[in-house]
A = this chain, B = another copy of it.
Amino acid sequence: MSDVLDSVTPFDVEFTTPLVLERGGLLPSYRLRCETYGSLNTERTNAVLVCHALSGDHHAAGRHHPSDPKPGWWDHYIGPGKAIDTDRFFVVSLNNLGGCSGSTGPTSLNPDTGLLYGPDFPEITVLDWVVSQARLADHLGIEQFAAVVGGSLGGMQALQWAISFPERLRAAVVIAAAPKLNAQNIAFNEVARQAILRDPNFRDGRYREFDVVPASGVGLARMVGHITYLSDVSMGQKFGRTAPRAEFESDGVNFAVESYLRYQGEQFSTRFDANTYLLMTHALDYFDPTAGDQVPLAEVLKDTQCRFLVLSFTTDWRFSPSRSEEIVDALVKAQRPVSYVRLESEHGHDAFLIPDATYQAVLGTFMARLADDLEVPS
């Protein structure tokens, strides 16, 4: 049965069991905003969890209204007949805890005080997300996912799922990720954070109480982030050293790449919460399944039970292929089943979001095989 995903409706799930967080905080209750695509089969075995990256949300595919100008952020890869085929899979997507798109986060009210969380929202880690997602699976009656899939920070969640709930997923798809950030990655996150913290409108994170937004700092943070999502090749092809388009000409703008970055920053700053941005970058920084090299990654992955698909992109310099290969090498050492493809792309880190025939074929083949396996009578 094909569904066109042209009238997707998000829904909220409320959790009233307190969640103790990895870094010491506690959420007495929380909400997760979700979307699903496709149908859960009667055996409840065909669910796929799609995890989002730093600035993503629950709206991964389809449209909320047929007239929406743009579909969800991974619509190229999720839908009827697509790599993650909603004719075969029941896809679950959610806005992560701490987000600003409907799930409980810094823009929510603290039920204990009746005030906005703001900067008092507790620190969240990838493990916290995975635990909250497992509770969501419980709520939806999903004992085991056919796959947990994600790119970038989403790939880290897929990896954490394999480690923390080995029996609850048959496959993990880890795309354009890394087993932990390196110093350069952390440095770029720190620059982004400082851009926000130094904006006078940030006001120690209590900007909403003053009815202001640190748009300048968030925009600047996005600008620096955005450079790291693209490759020098793709920036060269897209902009080179050309002058800005006439409508973007203004004082001090000499090159198209400058007006493009400013525009990206401005757009982002109107839709994304500053405290959430800080929280997400910290979650990236903290992610380290080896707990500071106390345990080798291969040892950490030894008890995983799923098969793995690991994908990297040649021009990704945020999380370069060598970072994906650290995961692959550890899985090989741990004698776990892993397929790895280093995909040719000019699009840098953003390649994981962009349509590409080979990428689609590799992911689609892996997912189709999973779906076939589910249909074999056991």
Interface string of A163-204 (1 = CB under 8 A from B): 000000000000000001111101110110111011110000
In the complex, residue of chain B having the shortest beta-carbon distance to the beta carbon of A286: B254
Query: Which residues of chain B are near A258, meaning CB under 8 Å?
Result: 186-187, 190
- Find chain B residues with CB under 8 A from A254 CB: 282, 285-286
A39-47, A219-227, A352-360 - interface stretch = A219-227
Copies per assembly: 2
Given the complex, which residues of B lie within 8 Å of A236, measured CB to CB? Answer: 182-184
- The answer to whether B241 touches A191, judged by C-beta atoms less than 8 angstroms apart, is no
Q: Given the known inter-chain contacts A191-B223, A261-B190, please indicate yes or no for A240 contacting B286, CB distance below 8 A.
A: no
Determine if A232 and B191 form an interchain contact, defined as CB atoms under 8 angstroms apart.
no
Task: Place the interface of chain A in its size category.
Answer: 35 or more
Answer yes or no: A288 CB below 8 A from chain B CBs. Answer: yes
Known A216-B198, A220-B194; contact A235-B286, beta-carbon cutoff 8 A: no
Q: Is A292 an interface residue (CB 8 A)?
A: yes
| Cross-chain contact A241 with B181 (CB below 8 angstroms) | yes
Complex: A317 Cα to B220 Cα, angstroms: 22
Establish whether residues A184 and B223, one from each chain, have CB atoms under 8 Å apart when the complex forms.
no
State whether A292 touches B223 (Cβ < 8 A).
no
A350 to B80, CA, bound (A): 51
Residues of B contacting A135 in the complex (Cβ-Cβ under 8 angstroms):
none
**14 extra interchain contacts, Cβ-Cβ under 8 A, other than A184-B230, A191-B223, A254-B282?**
A180-B241, A183-B238, A183-B241, A186-B241, A186-B255, A186-B257, A187-B261, A190-B257, A191-B220, A191-B224, A191-B227, A191-B261, A198-B216, A224-B224
